[in-house]
Each structure stands twice: as C-alpha cells, then as structure tokens.
Structure 1
Amino acid sequence: MGEQVRLEQLFHSSWFRPAGLSTLALILYAPVGVCLLVVRLFIAVQFFILALILPPNKFRQKVLRIICGVLGLTISTDGDSHPHGKVFVSNHITSFDHLAIHLATNAFAPTKKKIFKFLMKPLALFLTDNESVTNEQIEFFDDPVIVFPEGKPTNGEVGMLAFTTVTIPEGFTIQPVGLQVSRPFFHANCITASLTEEIIIGLFLPNTHFSIKFLSVETVDAEGDWKKRTQATIAQSLNLVPTKFTTADRAEWLKRILFRPPSVATMARAVQQQLSPQILAPETILAALQRTGTVDGAVQYLRQTCAASLQASGSGLPPTFPKSAAQRMMSFQERKRIMIATARQKYIEKHGLNISG
C-alpha cells in the first residue's frame, strides 16, 4: 500500500497554497497579521517566564494553554491520555508538535540540539545524546516522554514516513497519538523552511490548530514489530498511508530539489580564471565545456590541447602551466616571442626576401 504514494506527496516545497481567493484574503489580512506579530512577540516573553517559574501540574497546563491560544496556537483533543502512560508516540508535522502535546499531556521531548538550559523547560525539551527512549530517561523523569519516530516532519496530508529513528526498550507501554495541523492561508509546513520562518508565520496568522487524537495503548515487543504496528495504527486513525520511505529518502529528495546547476556563463568564467593569464576565445571554452561537461574537465582538456599545440610547433613548453604567476608570465612572453618569430619567418619565405645577419 505504501508504494502507491510518491515521496514528493509527503511534503510541501512552499508555504503558499495555490493562488485563488485565499491569496486575496491573505493580502487583505496582512496588515492585521503584522500587528498581531508585533503584539505576540511581547506576549511570548510572558509565556516563557510563566513556563519557567510554574511547577508542572494541571494549573500550569491550563495557564500556558490559554497564553498559547493568544499566541495563535490552539489545541483540541480526542480521547484520553493513559493515566500511567510514560511514552507517547506521534506522527510529526511541525517544529512545535511536542509543545502542543506537552500542553495536553505534560510530556517532554528529547533533543540533541544544544539549547540554553533555561529554555529547555519552557520549550518542553530535555537534552539527550540520541532521540531514543532509554530506561534511564524514564526513571529520571517524573513526566512522560513524547517521541516522533518518523524523524522529520511531513505535511500530514497523504502518508507517513517509516518509524526508523527511535528505539524503545522492550516491555514499555506506549500510547500512539494521531496529530493533525491546520493553518489559514498557508500549508502546515514547508520542507525548505527554517525554524525562524515557522515562528514568524505562526505569530502572523490568526491561529495554528493542533488536533490531537489519543489512541489505544500498546506494548513494545521484543521483535520490534511495534514500529510497523504503531505506524499503521496512527496512519489509519488519520486516513493516511503508512509508507516505507525514511528520513534518508527525504534527504536525497531534498538535495535534488535544492540543487541548481551553474549556468554556462558561470562555468566559462571559472575556466578562464583557472587558465589566466592566457586568454582564450569564448567559443573555445564553450566547446571544451560541451565536450567535458565540467569546469575541471574543460580546464584539463584545454591545457592538454594547448600543450600539444605548442609541442607540435617546437616550442618545447611543458604540458601543464606553471603554478606561480611569474612563471606563467614568463611562459606567456616566450610563446609571444615564438609566435612573432614564426610569423616573421613565414613573411620572409613568402616574399622571397634575403635577409642576412
């Protein structure tokens, strides 16, 4: 079933939706959005202060949830979280999925990124060497842990990546979580976007809504089949397709869409710079590029061609250009002297002149 979905269907390469009425509405909304962005930046400071000083409990969750609503992050839940659940397993859509689930469950997410320690609690994160769940983490934290085994966000509209980036010890009770995210005017995420862009868009828009669906608890088995089983469970609850694509496939596809081959003019300038101070005709350089396809190949080909030409004329110059600028200038002057002498000799022979001495 996973083969029916193409990898590119799992991601959006742009924030913007297709042009239409939504584009017109976005233009009309823009002044309001800018005002909201400025005001919410100041409110975000209050959120961090309260998240830092309040102890983890139900009151803290309610207060932070209200402030997040003002900031444009709204949450709705379906079902109940397990009262003794220690590990939540969710699909991944945005950079703030863990924060939304934290406000509903008080769960914290592991991260390998180096973040200021005082920001860890407000952002619902804890530092770890890897993103897998260990017995030590479960025993050390009183609060539950939230993990995203897909590894990277998808658009949450078509399918899910395979669960490959997280390992959970055998015997643990886990609760799958189905997550959906919606935004007006914009897609939920963009594969090429930065965290800064996502923050600005979130504060600019009226709201970003997270719909959290708590599913039946499962037990991690020894064989590791829980990954396929849990992926299928979450996908079915969200009407998505569980695919076999991994974060490695995503990375390769991202390289392809971001790669922009250099123009012929740029390549020609690079060739000429490497062959300087010798000046070649543009047609000669373009012909070499068409023959070899690369800058290095064209440079090597032109050097060999020039060297062969000079050797055929009896110049005795080496097949490669000297490395230093002084040596290159000397070889240039030598070639110039040979060309003048050759032209002079041809002129004398053509006109039958007898010049002695």
Structure 2
Amino acid sequence: MKSILIAAAIALIASIMLTPYLIKIFSRQGFGQEIREEGPQSHKTKRGTPTMGGVAILVAMWLGYLGSHLVNSMSASAQEQTPTASGLLVLLLTTSLGVVGFLDDFIKIRKQRNLGLNKTAKLVGQFVATIIFAVLVMQFPNKDGLTPASVNLSFVRDIAVVSFGVIGFVVFCYAAISAWSNAVNLTDGLDGLAGGTSAMVLGTYVVISFWQFRYNCSNLLVAGCYDVRDPLDLAVVAAAAMAGCIGFLWWNAAPAKIFMGDTGSLALGGLVAGLSITTRTELLMVVIGGIFVVEALSVVLQVAVFRTSRRRLFRMAPFHHHFELAGWAETTVIIRFWLMAGMCCMLGLGLFYSEWLTAAGS
C-alpha cells in the first residue's frame, strides 16, 4: 500500500509543478491549439491555448512509478523493490502512444490546422506500438508460469472457453488498444472532461489491482484468487497515472489554461487498454470506461445514420457537443459527464466485487 501512496504523491506534485512550466514554454513557442471550423462557435475563443500538456501526465507517471520503486528499494520487501514486466510493458505502451500523439499535435501546430498526422500514419503508429506490446506481453513468465497477459478473453478473470490463440490475441490487442485510445481522444473535447474521467477510471484500477494483489493465487491458494502476474505493480502504475491526471486537471479544468492534446488522450487510452489486458478485465473495462464507450459510439452512429439517411442523429458528435448545441453550459456538460463516469466506475467495482463474492463462496 505504501508504494501506491508514494507513487501517487510524487506524480501529483510533479504534475502540478510541471504543467505551469509547460504552459509558459508552449505559449512562448506558439504551441497553441487549433479549433475545428465545424465545431461549436463557443470554442473559437479557445484557439491558441497551449496544447501537448499530456507531456506533464507522462512525465509525472514515470516519476511516480520510478520514485516509488526507488523509495521502497530502501526499506520494502523484495516483492516491492523492482519494477516488473507487467508494469514496464504498460508504461511502454502508454509512452509509445503518447509519442504518436505528440507527433500528431506537433504537425497540427506547425501547419496551423486541426489535422495532424493523416489517418494512415496514425494507424501505423498505433499498430507498431500495439504489436510490440502484444508480443512482449505474452513473454516473461514468472516462477508460477504466469505471463503479463493471457490469450483468453476476460471479464473479471479469464474466460477459459474463449481463447484467441497467439495470432488472434495480437489482433484483439490491436483492436482493443486502437479503440480505447481513439475513444479517449474523442472524449477530449471539453475542458477537463477526458482528464477527470481518466482519473476516475484509473482510480478504479488502483482498487482492482490492489484487491487482486491481496487475493493473488501466487500468495493465497484459496477460492476466488486471481491469476494476475504483477497486480501490485499495476496498481502503482495506475496510481501514478491517476495522480498525474489530477495534477494536470488543476490547470486543465474550465477555463483550461492548457490542453492535453493527442499526446495525453492517445496515451491515456492506451494505458487503460493495457491495464485491462494485464489485469484480465477486458470486458469489465467496457463498463468502467462507459463514458468513453458512449462517446465513441456516438461518432459511429452519427456517421452510419448520416450515410444511410443523410440526416444527423445528434446535433454534433462526439456526444458532449450535442448537449452544448442544445444550450447546456460547457461546465454543466463536463460535471454531468463526470457524474456519469463516476457511476460507471462504481458499477464496474460492484460487478468486480460481486464476482469475487460468488467465486470465493463457491
């Protein structure tokens, strides 16, 4: 538990202190956000706000994770001293997608338009990051033979009857990671919306991962235990990232002084996808990240309905813009979406705990 608290504290302080420094640097360099011409007119005033603030989240996450291990190496048990394969692979995936997002943001700034990397280049970047993660996450078995991920589909634990096989698992990873990174990217349309929602989702994974550590099959041979390779280290990663989001949100909340950009949104999407894969909660993540799912589905439905009927299902997609155009104040939309995100997280935790009660009692 101490390692989780240390990671969160370091990341929170780093994010709060680094973000205003980035605001000054990016403002001086003219790294301002471009706004979609077809977007809500109220957003025009946001043009020029510094972007690429996701750098602060990534740096804070790494500092929190490494700092926690450094502090614990001086006093903690051997189990808590060294970084693990699961934690490092999730961090690698997150950082790789953050680099793709950074390139996308940088091109937008250089060309002064709201289009950065073209679709092919962005998909190639996501593909490379995903394939490396998917291949490596099936390696590095521990003393019990557990690898960071399983080729089986999972809900709260592996569903043994649904196995992808090695090739199928790689394809599944690409689909899941691309979907989640793009879903968080679509959610990042209002001040603090993606940051606040991500913090709640990551906080949920702190609880889930720590619970899996307490009832891990490597430590306890009891009914309802979890076959997860490095749950405590995954909790440290989630705690560091959560605190990084909270520290960034201090400056990103409405009216935002900086945006996370694709640097942050693609990275956070990859992070939650990686956590769901390594904690064996891939389907549960659909519930926990319900807001991300709704935002992505709203775009899919908008496009599908418009192409078939030439009519718009929503005033504008992603979904949060629909309410803005309906007359809701931006802060009202943000707070209500945060409330829904919180309810999704609580429902996910409820399902997780109820499954454990059932498994432990059987």
Shorter-chain-normalised TM-score: which range? Answer: under 0.3
The structure where helix makes up a greater share of residues is 2
The structure where strand makes up a greater share of residues is 1
Higher Rg? 1
Q: TM-score, normalised by structure 1?
A: 0.21
Q: TM-score, normalised by structure 2?
A: 0.21
